[in-house]
Structure 1
C-alpha cells in the first residue's frame, strides 16, 4: 500500500552545480552528501517543506540502465502558496517552461511545471487539499 512520498530522486551530470541551484531555490543546503570529504558529490539530499520530504540529486552515471535520457515519466508536484510567483522565480534561475500556470477546475487547484537546468521535470502546485491536511494535523 502506498503511504506517502519518501524520496524524490533527480539526475544531474554535475551534482555540485545542481545542489547549488536547488539550495538557492529551497533556501537550505543539503543535509547529506556522498562521497564528500573534498571529493565531488555523487549524491546530495535535501529535506524540504512541512513534512521534510527528501529531494535527492544523483549523478546521472548511476541512473538505471533502462532510464531514458531526456524528459519522461511522472511530474512530481510540490505544494507552493503562489504558483505564478514560484514559476517566475524558477524561470529567472534558468529553468524552462514545460507546462504554463494552469487552473484545474473551480476548486482552487493550480499547476505548472518546468524543466530544471539539469533536465529534470519539476512541478509546482497550489493544492487546497494539502493545506486542509496541514490544518487537521
Structure 2
C-alpha cells in the first residue's frame, strides 16, 4: 500500500526567499515553480537525496485550516552521513536549534532545527538507512 513518500511540503510567507535558502542548503536549484518566472512563486519543488525525494515549498496562504503557525507536527528526518556537520551547517544558514543531537540506540541518532520560515527539519544518522541503500546497489 505505502510505496514511499511523494512530497514533503513546507510553508513559507515568502516562497522565493525560502527557495533560495533551501537551494543554498541542498546545493541544487528548485526544478519547478508555479507560477513560472518572472511571477513570484507560490510553490516550488526540489528533488534531492538517493531517491530524488520531492520537497515542495508552498505559500503559507494555502496552508490547510488550523495549520500551526509555529513549529510542530510530524518531523521528517533526512539521513546525513555527518550529523554534527549537517547540524552546524543548518545553524550557520540561520536555522535555530529545536531538538539537540539525541542517541536513540540501535544506530539511530537524530537532531532537528526550525528553518527560518517556521518549519521543523530533522536530520538523522541511521546505520539501517545505509544498509538499505547498499542492498539496493545505489548511493554510497
In the alignment, the residues of structure 2 paired with residue 12 and residue 36 of structure 1 have an alpha-carbon distance, to the nearest angstrom, of 18
Question: Could you list the runs of 5+ residues in structure 2 that have no partner in the other structure?
Answer: none
Equivalenced residues, count = 136
Q: Secondary structure at the match of 1:85?
A: helix
Deviation (angstroms), 1:129:
1.2
Q: Secondary structure at the match of 1:113?
A: strand
In the alignment, the residues of structure 2 paired with residue 112 and residue 123 of structure 1 have an alpha-carbon distance, to the nearest angstrom, of 6
What pairs with 1:1-137 in structure 2 (closer than 5 Å)? 1-105=1-105, 107-137=106-136
Deviation (angstroms), 1:21:
0.3
Cα deviations by residue, 1:57-116 (Å, 9 ceiling, x for unpaired): 0000000122121122100000100111100000000000000111111x2211000000
Deviation (angstroms), 1:3:
2.0
In the alignment, the residues of structure 2 paired with residue 37 and residue 133 of structure 1 have an alpha-carbon distance, to the nearest angstrom, of 39
When normalised by structure 2's length, the TM-score is 0.94
In the alignment, the residues of structure 1 paired with residue 55 and residue 126 of structure 2 have an alpha-carbon distance, to the nearest angstrom, of 20
Question: Could you list the runs of 5+ residues in structure 1 that have no partner in the other structure?
Answer: none
Deviation (angstroms), 1:17:
0.4
